[in-house]
Amino acid sequence: MKFEATTIKDIAKALGLSTSTISRALRDSYEISEETKKLVLECAEKLNYRPNPIALSLKERRSRSIGVIVCEIANNFFSQIINGIESVAYERGYNVIIAQSHESYEREIMDLQFLASRSVDGLLISVSTETNDINHLKSLHDRGLPIVFFDRTLEGLNTHSVIVDNFNGAYLATEHLIKNGYKNIAAITNSEFLSITNERLAGYKQALIDNNLPVKNSFIQHCFYGGMVFSEVEEAVNKLFTQKQKPDAIFATSDKLSSGCLKTLNRRGLSIPNDIALVGFSNTDIAELLKPSLTVIRQPAYEMGRAATDLLLQQIESKRPVKDFEKRVLLPELIIGDSSSPLKK
Amino acid sequence: MKFEATTIKDIAKALGLSTSTISRALRDSYEISEETKKLVLECAEKLNYRPNPIALSLKERRSRSIGVIVCEIANNFFSQIINGIESVAYERGYNVIIAQSHESYEREIMDLQFLASRSVDGLLISVSTETNDINHLKSLHDRGLPIVFFDRTLEGLNTHSVIVDNFNGAYLATEHLIKNGYKNIAAITNSEFLSITNERLAGYKQALIDNNLPVKNSFIQHCFYGGMVFSEVEEAVNKLFTQKQKPDAIFATSDKLSSGCLKTLNRRGLSIPNDIALVGFSNTDIAELLKPSLTVIRQPAYEMGRAATDLLLQQIESKRPVKDFEKRVLLPELIIGDSSSPLKK
DNA sequence: TTGTAAGCGTTATCAT
DNA sequence: ATGATAACGCTTACAA
């Protein structure tokens, strides 16, 4: 707040008491008389006293704020996660300070410095596409900063993490296509650096194998920036169509990739699922609008945000460092377009 | 940060100087010798000194953080705005603390208290649907808290504001439908309390009038919670179809309303634009996917976030209170589905 | 040019 | 039960 906010001193002056007495009364200390306590509380109310969190932070050496690093805020999946993070933080009286990496390792390091300089009590992070080492996180973590990974994790750091069951999500998606008669299923996926990519690709491959379908490398296209730049997706899709053997279905492994694929197919004049089928990870609410043509894997993003924040605050507020780190796995949901979806013969 | 971070004291001790000398050296004060300055800077570097922003905040009585209140984070339009806000804040070394009103007046008041208690230096707010007075903002504003409205404004407070040209956006959308031969154009819109609703409805009506089409009240459906609850939109659309005179086109005045309409029409088995046309405000990237069937009004959300933050920081950092408040108006963009869109005869 | 001391708002440790 | 004082990290008159 601005201008002369009421402080504990003002109350002390008004009541002719010392600041320590006021402090005790407000903190409901046992060593205080009921009488003065009531007096102080009334006065505080009257003067509209609000404790100054900054002074408190300085004293307690904690800021009651947590940092969040995501690649992009303006992304349905991540904004839903942030919604979840914010809801838990708000409930527990914490601030959330958000920083974006824009999928850049360099920027992620800057974000980290910024958040550290803002004295966050803990960090929630979903690493950038370019990130493949933990050096920048390790030093902070070693100095005692609690960290929780969500969605995209990194090996080598002893922390909690919250992810979705990527293997199963991808398996379900691929299986869905197979069950509908598709046999040449391509995958448009993220950078190989990302944990989620490998987990999802593993699920995709396993589904093919379990159904006696071949795994073809030419059918697997990586988009390094995960669809953040549209041209990348367009190129990947185009590559699929310039091969001798063309896919009859595409599995896209993220929100941006799914919409990027749709956009590309749309531009090429291909209709779904008549010309080509598509199943993808998507948390865009409009996804449901493309029913019955589109089946999507929805990730429990809000829940992921809540779970990660809960784990982080638990760790922040526990006195001793946590010994047993938890890897919480949430279940994705297959939202099936419609039974009227035409069966490929 | 945690554990023993380096302070100015540590440097002082290490160099056998006083803390004030260190402070001066770091702040590059003029009253200091080049020699000691260099010495201090080197030592600071070596000890990996980082100034403690909390101590600074306490001293300077400013937190270098700004509060943002929006109805929902997990909404494309608003997450794009937040992206813009965050970009400017980051550039200028500010934190952004985000709070959600969930379209509730009560919650908005709680958010305000929370942000005030966190000592934000300024506030960016897009008021909730339920908000129709300025009492809660007025007291803070009077006490010197800079406030900037964006998107949804409120009368009676002498502040900057950034909005889009809602009248023109709506006019263009409606005109587009008229030009394509539609004559019975309904409007699905937000609460009458919101500034944006009236501005958009005015544009819609003017376009009808300018083209000698009647304005029918039965064709204007308000959704109080602006599509946050889907059933509301569904009901509104259904009402349009139970009238004797049915619309041949719908103009939806927000992101959520547009997707809600689409979903409802989809559920009713109506295809766009063959059965009914739809033009709406939408910042969802997938909107482009529904081309050629869908034409949308895209708002410059990112730019709005940047502009609002810029105005706020300007005000925060200017010593004297600003006298002339600015109302910045940004232009929305009509993204036309396609020329192949079938003309209604 | 450098050091001393007070102060930002709060709480904890001592006294009284 | 209450008051005085120091401390959290930093800046800034005011002294030296």
Residue B261: give its domain's CATH number: 3.40.50.2300
Task: Provide the domain count of chain B.
Answer: 3
Cβ of A83 within 8 Å of Cβ of B90? The answer is: no
d(CA B62, CA B56): 8
* pLDDT, mean over chain B: 91
Residue B345 within a domain: no
Q: Are strands A95-100 and A249-252 parallel, antiparallel or unpaired?
A: unpaired
Residue A55 within a domain: no
CA distance B16 to chain A (A): 25
Q: Which residues pair with B250 in a beta bridge?
A: B186, B278
Report the range of poorest mean pLDDT among A24-33, A291-300, B182-191, B284-293. B284-293
Residue A153 within a domain: yes
- Residues A226 and A216 placed together within one structural domain of the fold: yes
Cβ of A82 within 8 Å of Cβ of B73? The answer is: yes
- The model's pTM: 0.92
Q: At what angle do helices B53-60 and A53-60 cross, to 10 degrees?
A: 140
- Residues B306 and B159 placed together within one structural domain of the fold: yes
Chain B residues touching residue A63 (CB < 8 angstroms): 54
Residue A58 within a domain: no
Q: In this structure, what CATH number is given to the domain that contains residue B17?
A: 1.10.260
Cβ of A75 within 8 Å of Cβ of B73? The answer is: no
- Residues B252 and B287 placed together within one structural domain of the fold: yes
- Residues B306 and B295 placed together within one structural domain of the fold: no
Proportion of chain B in helix, strand, coil states, percent, rounded to 5: 45, 15, 40
pLDDT in tens, B84-127: 999 999 999 999 999 999 999 999 999 999 899 888 999 999 99
Residue B71 within a domain: yes
Nearest to A48 by CA among A18, A6, A1: A6
Compute the Cα dihedral for A315, A318, A322, A324 and give only its sign.
negative
DSSP state of A126: -
- Residues A111 and A194 placed together within one structural domain of the fold: no
Q: Does residue A318 register a pLDDT over 50?
A: yes
Chain B (112-131) residues lying within 8 Å, Cβ to Cβ, of chain A: 114, 116-119
- Residues A287 and A186 placed together within one structural domain of the fold: yes
d(CA B83, CA B150): 14
- Residues A178 and A282 placed together within one structural domain of the fold: yes
Report the range of poorest mean pLDDT among A111-120, A176-185, B245-254. A111-120
pLDDT band at A288 (very low <50, low <70, confident <90, very high): low
- Residues B219 and B309 placed together within one structural domain of the fold: no
Residue keyed to tokens 């990302």 = A194
pLDDT in tens, B28-80: 777 788 889 999 999 999 999 999 999 999 999 999 999 999 999 999 999 99
Q: Does residue B163 register a pLDDT over 50?
A: yes
- Residues B268 and B177 placed together within one structural domain of the fold: yes
Domain assignment of residue B159, given as a range:
64-164+301-330
Nucleotide nearest to A19 (CA to C1'): D3
Residue B55 within a domain: no
Residue B121 within a domain: yes
Nucleotide nearest to B59 (CA to C1'): C8
pLDDT in tens, A108-150: 999 999 899 889 999 999 999 999 899 999 989 988 899 999 9
> What is the CA A325 to C1' D13 distance in angstroms?
52
Q: Does residue B345 register a pLDDT over 50?
A: no
Report the range of poorest mean pLDDT among A302-311, B170-179, B251-260, B331-340. B331-340
Chain B (37-56) residues lying within 8 Å, Cβ to Cβ, of chain A: 50-55
Cβ of A58 within 8 Å of Cβ of B58? The answer is: yes
What is residue A267's predicted lDDT score, i.e. its pLDDT? 86
- Residues B253 and B274 placed together within one structural domain of the fold: yes
Nearest to A108 by CA among A119, A100, A120: A100
d(CA A54, CA A64): 10
Please give the average per-residue pLDDT across B311-329, as a whole number: 86
CA distance A212 to chain B (A): 34
Q: Does residue B227 register a pLDDT over 70?
A: yes
- Residues B171 and B292 placed together within one structural domain of the fold: yes
Please give the average per-residue pLDDT across A174-194, as a whole number: 96
Residue B59 within a domain: no
- Residues A205 and A282 placed together within one structural domain of the fold: yes
